[in-house]
Amino acid sequence: MSKTLNKLNSFGGVKGPVLTIVMDGVGLAPDTAGNAVKSAYTPNLDALLANYPTVSLKAHGTAVGLPTDDDMGNSEVGHNALGAGQVFAQGAKLVSASIESGKMFASAAWREIAENVLNHSSTLHFLGLFSDGNVHSHIDHLKAMLIQAKKEGIRRVRVHILLDGRDVGETSALDYINPFEDFLAGLRDSEFDARIASGGGRMNITMDRYEANWAMVERGWKTHVLGEGRQFASAAEAVTAYRTELGVIDQDLPAFVIAENGTPVGTVEDGDSVIFFNFRGDRSIEISRTFEAGEDFDKFDRVRVPSVVFAGMLEYDGDLHIPSRYLVSPPEITNTMSEYLANTGIPVLAISETQKYGHVTYFWNGNKSGKFSEELETYIEIPSDVVPFEQRPWMKCAEITDTLIDCLQSGKYRYLRVNFPNGDMVGHTGSLAATRCSMEALDLQLGRILPVVDALGGVALITADHGNADEMYETDKKGQPKQDKEGNYKAKTSHTLNPVPCIIYDNTEAKSFYSVKTGEQFGLSNVAATTVNLLGYEAPDMWDASIIEVE
């Protein structure tokens, strides 16, 4: 099958460039007290929504390959759908199906993990995000593996928990820890010893991504592997103490080590096995590399590198084969837009700052870290600041725009895509004020970019990958912010179930050649076909339908 695009018969495409602007984490929601998108001063976005064709896109649940419509969308699956033009079954769904069918436990990776522990009478360690957020992991997957480990005769298990507070309630850690301790107590007997051994907040230790802050991974290594850090008798004690002393939410909790009589209960030693049970790739790659790298590892001093059998839940990078061993095969995402554009000879630019650079490259390309064409594709990463996002909510949006405008005006690129992380990364902090500021900073960039698009005779598709900034407070069934007994709103740090906009910004003659479809339901996967239509090409048959109808 030829993976090149065929020209449209009746429309040669816009004369200038086609630009996709991803306003990460910016959803469509009612104008409530917690909607930072609505309450921010955003004259450019307001004018776009009022004066240009806008389609509401579904960005969560089954529309992006997740198991149910109760599942929030996320940047990984959102960019997969935007870039692929199709919906593929995603991590959570794949893992659940593999567990239910028994395929996971029959896999070569599980057998190696289990047999290594049984042969060495050693310890099986589980490390990962500890919640049911279903964005990076699910606690039910962990429980299923613990039950299987006991069934197979493994005698000693240690669990290293990364507390969430981001894809679930910001202070919900004890809602997971306490029932899980009961679950472990029900499993333990004279032949099976399972305990929580260490932990910390996901934005403090272990789960860095895109090499933005290797110090996070180093803190995690010292905590989980070496057993270094402040000691507590239990995870619940650690969470309670840190909340009292520091007043931070779960994702920012410092590391802790569970110990008895001053001795950590679960360091990682030679002969052990380790499973990193996150299924999402971006925040899994660095810790996987740290476990598997040889003596040439130079990101930090690991001090001691135990000889272990390591596995990830999935293969997190299909090109670099990270990790080398994994329990469930990831979705094979094929026939992506980037592949078709490269084969058709269309020059492309992808740009963002570090925090979302992998989303407009790796995830957009179907979990492929390389390029389809070195000659035709240019990727630009603007280094992110390593500071709390609420302290600098504008992030690198101005610098991204500076470079993007230069690239637009260069005339080198027919298609460009850019991600502005502000609405998502700042939205995750739970700070309404900072998120408003992030939206206003983003709006200023729209005001800079769009006149350049006009001057070049181009078109912009302005969309998002999921909601976040649109709902900064926990809401009730009517969508209104929840209040505590004192009348205070409870911050929400997770993504939302709200749709996202797709604004077709076109002031050219080209708009007379097409119409925007009405009365249909669209998702993120419909954007790819729309893009190639605007470039003057037919969409491949396997892609989901275009949002526009070419006359």
Please report, in tens digits, the pLDDT of each residue of the chain (551 residues total). Answer: 679 999 999 899 999 999 999 999 999 999 999 999 999 999 999 999 999 999 999 999 899 998 778 888 889 899 999 999 999 988 888 999 999 999 999 999 999 999 999 999 999 999 999 999 998 999 999 999 999 999 999 999 999 999 999 999 999 999 999 999 999 999 999 999 999 999 999 999 999 987 889 999 999 999 999 999 999 999 999 999 999 999 999 999 999 999 999 999 999 999 999 999 999 888 999 999 999 999 999 999 999 999 999 999 998 876 578 999 999 987 789 999 999 999 999 999 999 999 999 999 999 999 888 999 999 999 999 999 999 999 999 999 999 999 999 999 999 999 999 999 999 999 999 999 999 999 999 999 999 999 999 999 999 999 999 999 999 998 877 778 888 778 889 898 888 999 999 999 999 999 999 999 988 999 999 999 999 999 999 999 999 999 999 98
DSSP class per residue in 50-91: HHS-EEEEE-SGGGGT-SSTTSPP-HHHHHHHHHHSS----H
Please name the helix (run of DSSP H) or strand (run of DSSP E) that holds residue 506, with its range, or none.
strand 500-506
Contact indicator for 307, 84 with CB cutoff of 8 Å: no
Please name the helix (run of DSSP H) or strand (run of DSSP E) that holds residue 402, with its range, or none.
helix 397-410
Number of H helices, E strands in the chain: 17, 19
pLDDT reported for residue 1: 65
Contact indicator for 129, 164 with CB cutoff of 8 Å: yes
CA–CA distance, 363 with 56 (Å, rounded to integer):
22
pLDDT reported for residue 123: 98
CA–CA distance, 203 with 175 (Å, rounded to integer):
19
What is the pTM for the complete model shown?
Answer: 0.76
223, two tokens: 């905590």
Residue 262: count of CB within 10 angstroms of its CB: 6
Active centre residues (catalytic) = 75
CA–CA distance, 430 with 201 (Å, rounded to integer):
15
Walk me through the domains of the chain, giving residue ranges and CATH numbers: 18-89+332-472+486-550 (3.40.720.10), 92-328 (3.40.1450.10)
CA–CA distance, 167 with 170 (Å, rounded to integer):
8
Residue with tokens 């039950």: 147
CA–CA distance, 125 with 263 (Å, rounded to integer):
17
